[in-house]
Structure 1
Amino acid sequence: MTATAVLAAAALSLTACGGSSDSDDTSSSSSSSSGLSGEITVFAAASLTESFTALGTSFEAENPGTTVTFSFAASSALAEQINSGAPADVFASAATKNMDQVVDAGNASDPVTFANNTMEIAVPADNPAKVDSLDDLTDKDTKVVLCAEDVPCGVSARAVFDNAGITVTPVSNEVDVKSTLSKITLGEADAGVVYVTDVKAAGDKVTGVEIPDDVNASTAYPIATLKGSENAELAKAFEDYVLSDTGATQLESAGFAKP
């Protein structure tokens, strides 16, 4: 082979290598970007505070350039806010009733249940009132705190009492499950009935007393992208993330059950 031929072959070889590298870079860049950007606001039940905060962090990490902001409160209050025009992109409710209110008002459609939750008695870590069963909650000297009657955790707690055939008179009715739990961790109540996930999230601040399966109550958690969303693509992506295997795994680790 002549010197000219050798140089030509080398040039062709370098050109081929360069072309392959550019193609690989383009492919890599394309596959690492979701194409999602912007911000969304997620209205979520108070009992989802820890799990959804974690999900939001992991979602943002997997989708650089996105921001997920949360507003946590009682599902009943959130549904009322949405139907009153509050700007939000996704609604995750602790009860189908409150989601139905939003759907019926035309502000969402096709909600999907992503988790279930059940109830548990929570007492201060040292359990000063020695509560170890539902019957102990009927003692007039035991200060019991519950979620308000129209709040999902309050509805479920009272369903437990109905199932067990007991009457419990609370010393206060709180706006959501976190407020109820706070009364217990601060020692302002002897016991409360909250979600098993909230007992788990509280760690060593409280002690959980199990409720028998035959009288326990459960609630379903539906999620939906809201029709008023100004970033519907990102909102739907977050909804899908919650419904994904990754979302299910994180929710199960927080104590939620599969739907």
Structure 2
Amino acid sequence: MLLALTACSSSDDKSSDSATPSAASTNSTSASASPQVSGSITVFAAASLKESFSTLGKQFEAAYPGTKVTFNFGGSDTLAASITAGAPADVFAAASPATMKTVTDAGDGAGTPTTFVRNQLEIATLPGNPQHIATLKDLTKPGLKVALCAKTVPCGSAAQKALTASHISLTPVSYEQDVKSALTKVELKEVDASVVYQTDVKAAGGKVDGVQFPESAGAINAYPIVALKDAPNATAAEAFIALVKSAEGRKVLTDAGFLNP
């Protein structure tokens, strides 16, 4: 009987020992299938995304402790040129498909860009709208100083599209390299008005007033986003894009005034 008990005990121990490596192996396989998000990423994004993406960057760092998101905000055309020239970046979020095409045509995108939001133009005026600007055509009033985004920048291209469709000829006092610069001209009272995005008017708070105009409905910009082919941190890049497109990301963006894609 003692021999039988000893044999059973020995058999159970061996069975238990053989099960342990199997479980460890399963856990190891599971862990390797889900790469850990860590390290730093650099996101090149259109200037109009500054406030909302800065918020999402903080959310990303909180969700993945130890990560760091660095942003480069600016005119989409300038950012695209930097990427095709070899500037190191992980993610590109543009304010128009045309500027994104510059990057994908050069073979610098990883995968197909997806539209995550849209944006609509609005006229930014001085607080209280002292010049009583009510329409797009009002921007042509004699003596009125207006700033526009450069024609190569998505906000400038959209503004030109709205003006052309309305048969309005407008010569601004300055063309700015990104939408934030155009908005700043109004905030500093260097111009009476500027054509910017509705998100920028909202972000400015009481520093400017916003005037909607119907022609803007025909010049809405789609915003595409893509991970870059030579991204130094491809895993984190995909995780950041996933956050942008998630329900949480969509809420941050729509709260900022962006339209659904």
TM-score (norm 1): 0.85
**What residue identity is the alignment partner of 1:50?**
E
Partner of 1:223: 225
- Partner amino acid, structure 2, of 1:92: A
Q: How does 1:74-113 map to 2 (within 5 A)?
A: 74-108=75-109, 109-113=111-115
What is the percentage of aligned positions where both structures have the same residue? 52
C-alpha distance in structure 1 between counterparts of 2:117 and 2:194, whole Å: 22
Cα offset, 1:127, TM superposition: 2.1
Secondary structure of the equivalent of 1:234?
helix
Residue 11 of structure 1: aligned partner: none
Structure 2 Cα separation of the partners of residues 44 and 159 of structure 1: 23
Q: Conserved in 2, the CA contact under 8 Å of 1:36 and 1:65?
A: no
- 8 Å Cα contact 1:114-1:221 kept in structure 2: yes
Kept in 2: contact 1:114–1:243 (CA 8 A): yes
Cα distance per residue 1:230-249 (max 9 Å; x no partner): 11000110011101111111
- 1:174 equivalent in alignment to 2:176: yes
Work out whether residues 118 and 216 of structure 1, in 8 Å CA contact, stay in contact via their aligned partners in 2. no
Which sits farther off after the overlay, 242-251 or 73-82?
Answer: 242-251
> How large is the RMSD of aligned CA atoms in angstroms?
1.7
Measure how far apart 1:155 and its partner are.
0.3
CA apart distance, 1:35: 2.7
How far is the alpha carbon of 1:141 from its aligned partner? Answer: 1.0
Distance 1:165 1:147 in 2: 19
Q: Which one of 236, 244, 249 corresponds to residue 234 of structure 1?
A: 236
CA deviation after TM superposition for structure 1 residue 216, in Å: 4.3
DSSP-derived class of the 2:112 partner: coil
Structure 1 counterpart of 2:72, one-letter code: S
User: 1:190-246 deviations in whole A, cap 9, x for unaligned?
Assistant: 011000100000000000001115754100000000011111000110011101111
Given the superposition, is the C-alpha separation of residues 253 and 152 from structure 1 closer, same or farther in structure 2, using an over 3 Å criterion? same
Indicate the residue corresponding to 1:138 in structure 2. 140
C-alpha displacement at 1:126, in angstroms?
Answer: 2.8
Who is 2:196 aligned against?
194
Checking the alignment, whether the CA contact within 8 Å between 2:40 and 2:233 is kept in structure 1 is yes
Shift of residue 186, structure 1, vs aligned partner = 0.4
Partner of 1:212: 214
Query: Quick one: structure 1 residues 102 and 141, their matched pair in 2 at CA, closer, same or farther if it must change by over 3 Å?
Result: same
Residue 66 in structure 1 maps to residue 94 in structure 2: no
SS of aligned partner of 1:111: strand
Residue 253 of structure 2: aligned partner: 251
CA contact (8 A) 1:75 1:93 kept: yes
Contact 2:162 2:215 in 1 (8 A): no
Query: Aligned pair in 2 of structure 1 residues 150, 213: CA closer, same or farther (>3 Å)?
Result: closer
Shift of 1:62: 1.0
> Is the CA contact 1:163–1:215 (under 8 Å) kept in the aligned structure 2?
no
Count matched residues.
229
SS of equivalent residue, structure 1 residue 222:
strand
Runs of 4+ in 1 over 4 A off after TM superposition: 213-216
Q: Partner residue of 1:162? A: 164
The separation in 1 between residues aligned to 2:194 and 2:125, in whole angstroms, is 7
Question: Distance in 1 between the 2:107 and 2:36 partners?
Answer: 29
Contact 2:120 2:217 in 1 (8 A): no
Q: For residues 213 and 100 of structure 2, what CA distance do their matches in structure 1 show?
A: 27
Q: For 2:184 and 2:204, how far apart are their aligned partners in 1?
A: 10
TM-score by length of 2: 0.85
Query: Which amino acid in the other structure matches residue 51 of structure 2?
Result: E
Any unmatched runs of 5+ in structure 1?
Answer: 1-25
Alpha-carbon distance, 1:168 to partner: 1.1
CA distance in structure 2 between the aligned counterparts of 1:44 and 1:123, rounded to whole angstroms? 25
